[in-house]
């Protein structure tokens, strides 16, 4: 007795217009199902993003309820009770620390004016010069052809650093809007 050999699912074939129409209907059903699931999922995502935002806002208000009085208490302490460094003041408690941080200043620059000033002052060591070379592929491509998978320029020279890979054609089926 010969053992049964499983060869996998049979390839789907379309033999006539009726089967082609059925395939288009199936594609429509798949697209509609995908759209429904994606839209429903996006609505749930939006719902949970709103829940997260509401909860974050609530927690922020609750934190502020306690942080406001803590800051007032901290500011009412004498300078001798707190430790101060360049960037912060701290006050130690048994279970934590109250800290007032002094952030670094934010610099807003007008690079053109700054560059002019540096040149006026003779401070060229603070000027960076950047030179970037990149190929102008859009222009070069207009002068090339493809020969046996190689890119060749109009002089017949193989262009180094560029390969041409043929892409397979893509088949699409589109329903007419009047159906």
Mean pLDDT (whole number) for 61-78: 92
Where helices occur in the chain by DSSP H, the ranges are 17-76, 111-120, 137-141
| Domain total of the chain | 3
102 CB contacts (<8 Å, ≥6 apart)?
A: 86, 87, 88
For residues 47 and 63, state if they share a domain. yes
Residue 136 forms part of a structural domain: yes
Whether 1 has a pLDDT exceeding 70, the answer reads no
Q: Give me the pLDDT at residue 173, please.
A: 58
Residue 158 lies in a domain: yes
Residue 123 lies in a domain: yes
25 and 68 housed in the same domain: yes
Same domain flag for 138 and 120: no
Tokens 């089926």 found at: 173
Provide the domain limits for residue 122.
Answer: 77-131
pTM of the model: 0.54
Q: Sign (positive/negative) of CA torsion 105, 111, 113, 118? A: positive
Phi–psi pair at 162, nearest 5 degrees: -135, 130
What pLDDT band is residue 131 in, cutting at 50, 70 and 90? confident
Give me 39's structure tokens. 């839209």
Tokens of 79: 């300078």
- pLDDT digit string (tens) for 96-110? 899 999 887 677 788
Q: Are residues 66 and 84 in the same domain?
A: no
Q: Are residues 25 and 72 in the same domain?
A: yes
The pLDDT of residue 55: 97
Distance, in Å, from the CA atom of 103 to the CA atom of 88, rounded to the nearest integer, reads: 8
Cβ distance 170 to 177 under 8 Å? no
Q: Is 161 left (phi over 0), alpha (psi -120 to 50) or beta?
A: left
Q: Does the pLDDT value for residue 46 go beyond 80?
A: yes
């Amino acid at each position: 007795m010969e053992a049964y050999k499983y060869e996998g699912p049979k390839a789907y074939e379309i033999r006539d217009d009726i089967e082609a129409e059925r395939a288009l209907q199936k594609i429509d059903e798949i697209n509609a199902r995908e759209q429904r699931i994606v839209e429903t999922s996006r609505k749930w995502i939006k719902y949970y993003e709103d829940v997260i935002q509401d909860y974050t806002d609530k927690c922020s208000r609750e934190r502020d309820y306690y942080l406001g009085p803590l800051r007032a208490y901290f500011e009412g302490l004498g300078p001798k009770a707190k430790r101060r460094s360049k960037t912060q003041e701290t006050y130690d408690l048994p279970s934590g620390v109250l800290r007032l941080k002094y952030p670094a200043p934010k610099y807003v620059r007008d690079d053109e004016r700054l560059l002019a000033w540096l040149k006026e002052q003779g401070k060229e060591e603070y000027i960076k010069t950047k030179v970037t070379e990149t190929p102008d592929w859009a222009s070069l491509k207009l002068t090339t052809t493809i020969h046996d998978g190689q890119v060749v320029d109009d002089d017949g020279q193989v262009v180094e650093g560029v390969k041409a890979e043929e892409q397979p054609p893509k088949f699409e089926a589109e329903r007419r809007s009047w159906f």
